[in-house]
Chains A and B, each alone.
Chain A
């Protein structure tokens, strides 16, 4: 695999050459510091751009065109990455070796059409199209509680810190939806093109010399931009007493979600010690939480912990029976304490290291994970993967204990069921 980065002033172009795939993947990412009130608009924008363009007047026309390009997959995604929101346009199609000539150039042209040639008139999106995507968004926002596990995480993060981007709902907000008009959506679209940082990735068995002029021809942005704001969120002031919050539902099962902020991590702790700590505590089916809460005490079917270095946060969640709430919290607390006291073995550490290495090795199986890795190295300034694999080997028990001492079980949220 070979990565070739080109700074084209208004965007960064990344060629990732590999012969591991029969497909070519292209990803265009717009990123900007996240603003709560803009999330809904951004969702609507990426939806409406996939409804129609100047040349393809309906969603069906767009779908037919992508099918004609040898079933090119085209989709958009919005995600929060620390302090930023990223909107990605992703295209994946077969390499020209398996199709007719120029299928990939045609696909690039098609992606260009979607991003740069929206179905607008007089600087306004079409009324019927906007109404349609808004109606879909309304339904989605109204059924947010159907995914109880996800809803419990949202409510937990709101209880944890309402002002932090961690608590922003990526599905958006009904009150913001109402404010979106054909005009202000178009203004927002123009702003995104002009001001967002842009990265373009092309991954596959490609010839970058042939592709460069084609990309330059289709992808042009007006302004030259340099990233400024950090992707990392600032540390939150620790709470003096643990906060308990709950909401009742008519579900039969309860969902427990716990926010554990990690104060003032060093870069080394962020990228090494805590990754291992998380795997040991709740990252796998062999973790301490899984063994003790599920296998030994039969309190749940699912339990896991997730760690996000950008948010300085570890989240523990489980599906439990209401009556076991106290016992589950007690056991989870004990397990977190055990991590701080070093009550885990060298074997546990080795297992976590092996998981890390396997995950690093299997990265090469997935185009989207490879792209994500190259992007992460660049925007977060983390060391290359091979270097990280080398360094993770050297993490000691003492390193992990020291990092775990910074974990604070701050907010415990229960989405209470059992009230049928």
Chain B
């Protein structure tokens, strides 16, 4: 097992890769009561089609990864995984995203039994015509629930504008029409392709012993065979955004604005983990809580609430800014002003570095946050960044400006969501 010091945080991460390809990441805490286990596959809604070892191409209906996640909870034994974990008061759940699906449990006791069970149930698919059919109603309600959330729809529309071909245009859960086409055969094909050790990983954080964890994992997973997938169809996404601007009307009371910046990263010659820090720094300096932009739009009453984030795709990074605003056009012109002036004073740069350093130290106190941070690193970089504090300390304003030069700040999409006229 390899040891990595999380530098500056007094923690040690352990990593091992088994012969069958499975990777495990273990971060034990000396003074916590809880543990958090995640068993995950690099299979999410990003994968639209794949080729098996017999050279046959499979293109399952949209939303299949998420559907499969729901169906993992049906076991041939008839036992409900939730019920098993409940016996020791352990919380269990699962989630599907664009690039992964994870099965988690969080508890304070029965570590070995719960870990073993988590691996066992995710390794035992049981799909029948009847249980697949029954799930369709539940997932349809889930899709409808999100459909009714205006912010969710706003983001979906922005994705359609930013991307021309990428699967990120499509909702993770698919559509009601598509999921109704899913069969048990689709699920088995995906399962056999992607739920295999060489495509999976385990992360454990919190109160547990290394010996217990490795022993159980070895016993449960040593005989699992590797995946039979020979190729995943890679979808080419053009550098330019798909559509510059879209205006839609919804039943809302306050209009909304979504702004996206698409950054192809192949042209920027920098390690991704470092580049992500610089990209975050640029938008934090321009649009963050202590930015002049915020003060200005607040004073002009242009902003109700705001949400920003960077998203990682294989060859891209995309910046999202979403806000509720009475005047989307004025807010948009403020955003554009900010991006054309690109004021990045060193004093602000230093202050944000200090904030980030403090936040790294604070985060390690929180098992959940640390877990998601490790998980993010693994899905984004295929490794854990164990020297992030050092990377932050080493950031320089010169490098920041070099990155800025390589970004086309006009490669943007905008969605304005306006209020429908009221019916009498």
Residues of A within 8 A of B (CB): 19-23, 58-60, 63-64, 67-68, 70-71, 92-94, 98-99, 128, 131-132, 135-136, 139-140, 142-143, 145-148, 250-253, 284-286, 290-291, 294-295, 298-302, 319-321, 347, 350-351, 353-359, 361-362, 364-365, 417
Hey, which chain B residues are within 8 Å of A98, CB to CB? 358, 361
The one of A22, A291, A298 in contact with B138, judged by C-beta atoms closer than 8 angstroms, is A298
Question: Which A residues are CB-close (under 8 A) to B298?
Answer: 59, 132
- 247-289 of chain B: CB within 8 A of chain A: 251-254, 289
Query: Can you list 28 A-B pairs with a CB-CB distance of less than 8 A?
Result: A19-B31, A20-B32, A59-B295, A60-B294, A60-B295, A63-B289, A67-B351, A70-B354, A71-B354, A98-B361, A139-B324, A140-B304, A143-B253, A251-B148, A252-B144, A286-B86, A294-B138, A295-B80, A298-B136, A298-B137, A299-B137, A301-B138, A301-B142, A301-B145, A319-B141, A350-B87, A359-B89, A365-B366
Given A63-B290, A98-B361, answer yes or no on A301-B139 (Cβ-Cβ < 8 Å): yes
Query: Shortest beta-carbon distance, A47 to chain B, in Å?
Result: 12
Residues of B366-396 contacting chain A, CB below 8 A: 366-367
Bound form: Cα–Cα A359–B366 in Å: 16
Known: A22-B361, A60-B295. A146 touches B252 (CB 8 A): yes
**Interface pair A139/B326, CB less than 8 Å apart:** yes
Interface: B329 (CB within 8 A): no
Within 8 Å of chain A (Cβ to Cβ): is B212? Answer: no
In the complex formed, the residue of B with least CB distance to A63 is B290
Bound Cα distance A361, B34 (Å): 8
Closest to B137 in A: A298
Query: CA A67 – CA B357 in complex, angstroms?
Result: 11
* A-facing residues in B103-148 (Cβ within 8 Å): 107-109, 134-142, 144-145, 147-148
Q: Mark B300-337, 1 if CB is under 8 A from A, else 0.
A: 01001000000000000000000010100000000000
**When chains A and B are docked, how far (Å) is the Cα of A140 from the Cα of B326?**
11
Total interface residues in chain B, CB < 8 Å: 64
B92 touches A285 (CB 8 A): yes
Q: Which of A60, A252, A357 contacts B148 (CB 8 A)?
A: A252
Nearest Cβ on chain B to A132's Cβ, whole angstroms: 6
Contact B108 A361 (CB under 8 A): yes
Are B135 and A285 in touch, CB under 8 angstroms?
no
Q: Is the CB of B144 within 8 A of A60?
A: no
A96 to chain B, nearest CB (A): 12
Q: When chains A and B are docked, how far (Å) is the Cα of A353 from the Cα of B251? A: 44
Which residue in chain A gives the minimum CB-CB distance to B423?
A250
Please give, as numbers and ranges, the residues of chain B lying within 8 Å of A60 by CB-CB distance. Answer: 290-292, 294-295
Write the nearest CB–CB distance from B305 to chain A, whole angstroms: 8
| Residues on A with beta carbons closer than 8 Å to the beta carbon of B301 | 131-132, 135-136
Q: What's the minimum C-beta distance from A260 to chain B, rounded to whole angstroms?
A: 23
Most chain A CB inside 10 Å of its own CB: which residue of B136, B150, B361, B366: B361
Is B53 interfacial (CB-CB < 8 Å)? no
B230 at the interface (CB under 8 A from A): no
Once bound together, how far apart are the Cα atoms of A284 and B109, in whole Å? 18
User: Separation in Å of the B258 CB from the closest CB of chain A?
Assistant: 15
Give complex CA distance A301, B86 in Å.
20
Is A71 a contact of B253 with CB atoms below 8 Å?
no
Selected from A67, A290, A353, A362, the residue in CB contact (under 8 A) with B33 is A362
By DSSP majority rule, is chain A's interface helix, strand, loop, or mixed?
helix
- CB pair B364–A22 under 8 Å, yes or no, is yes
Residues of B within 8 A of A22 (CB): 361-362, 364-365
A298 CB contact (under 8 Å) in B34, B135, B364: B135
Chain B residues, Cβ within 8 Å of A253: 141, 144-145, 147-148
Contact of A358 with B90 in the complex, beta carbons under 8 Å: yes
Min CB distance B185 to A, Å, is: 21
Q: A60-B294, A301-B139, A358-B108 provided; 11 other pairs, C-beta below 8 A?
A: A58-B295, A67-B290, A98-B358, A131-B301, A132-B298, A143-B254, A146-B149, A354-B88, A358-B89, A361-B33, A417-B144
B289 proximity list for chain A (CB < 8 A): 63, 67
Please, how many angstroms separate the alpha-carbon atoms of A417 and B147 in the complex? 12
Q: How far is the CA of A350 from the CA of B86 in the complex (A)?
A: 9
> Closest CB-CB distance, A67 to chain B, in whole Å?
5
A290 to B80, CA, bound (A): 12
Name the A residues within 8 Å of B358 (CB-CB): 70-71, 93-94, 98-99
Roughly how many angstroms separate A353 CA and B109 CA in the complex, as a whole number?
14
Nearest first, the 10 A-B pairs at minimum CB distance are A354-B89, A358-B89, A298-B137, A71-B358, A301-B142, A142-B253, A60-B295, A251-B148, A63-B290, A70-B358
Q: Which residue of B lies closest to A321 (CB)?
A: B141
Q: Name which residue of chain B comes closest to A353, CB basis.
A: B89
B210 to chain A, nearest CB (A): 21
Q: Is B83 an interface residue (CB 8 A)?
A: yes
A145 touches B290 (CB 8 A): no
The reply to whether A20 and B31 contact each other, CB–CB distance below 8 Å, is yes
Q: Is the CB of A143 within 8 A of B252?
A: yes
Q: Does B59 contact A (CB under 8 A)?
A: no
Mark each residue of chain B from 351 to 363: 1 if its CB lies under 8 Å from any CB of chain A, else 0: 1101110110110
Residue of B whose beta carbon sits closest to that of A98: B361
A249 to chain B, nearest CB (A): 8
Question: A93 to B355, alpha carbons, bound, how many Å?
Answer: 11
Q: Considering the chains assembled together, what is the distance between the CA atoms of A356 and B359 in angstroms?
A: 31
Q: Is the CB of B80 within 8 A of A286?
A: yes
A145 to B83, CA, bound (A): 35
Q: Are A64 and B290 closer than 8 Å at their CB atoms?
A: yes
Nearest-CB residue, chain B, relative to A354: B89
The CA of A143 and the CA of B90, in the complex, are separated in Å by 37
Inside 8 A of A364's CB, which chain B residues have their CB? 33
Contacts A132-B299, A284-B86 given; does A365 touch B32 at CB 8 Å: yes
B165 proximity list for chain A (CB < 8 A): none
With A and B bound together, what is the CA distance between A71 and B144 in angstroms?
Answer: 39
CA distance A299 to B136 in the complex (A): 10
Q: Is B82's beta carbon under 8 Å from chain A?
A: yes
- From A132, A320, A347, A359, B141 is in contact (CB under 8 Å) with A320
In the bound complex, what is the Cα–Cα distance between A299 and B138 (angstroms)? 7
Residues on A with C-beta less than 8 A from B134 are: 298
Closest CB in chain A relative to B111 CB, distance in Å? 12
Q: Establish whether residues A145 and B253, one from each chain, have CB atoms under 8 Å apart when the complex forms.
A: yes
Q: Which residue of chain A is the closest to B325 with respect to CB atoms?
A: A139
The reply on B410 being an interface residue by CB < 8 A is no
**Interchain CB contact under 8 A, A356 and B89:** yes
Tell me whether A252 and B295 are in contact (CB under 8 A).
no
Task: Give chain A residues whose Cβ lies under 8 Å from the Cβ of B228.
Answer: none
Asked if B95 is at the interface (CB within 8 A of a chain A CB), the reply is no
Most buried by A among B135, B138, B359: B138
In the complex, whether B209 has a CB less than 8 A from a CB of chain A is no
> When chains A and B are docked, how far (Å) is the Cα of A19 from the Cα of B32?
11
Give chain A nearest CB distance to B19 CB in angstroms.
35
Q: What are the residues of chain A within 8 A of B145 when measuring CB–CB?
A: 253, 301-302, 319
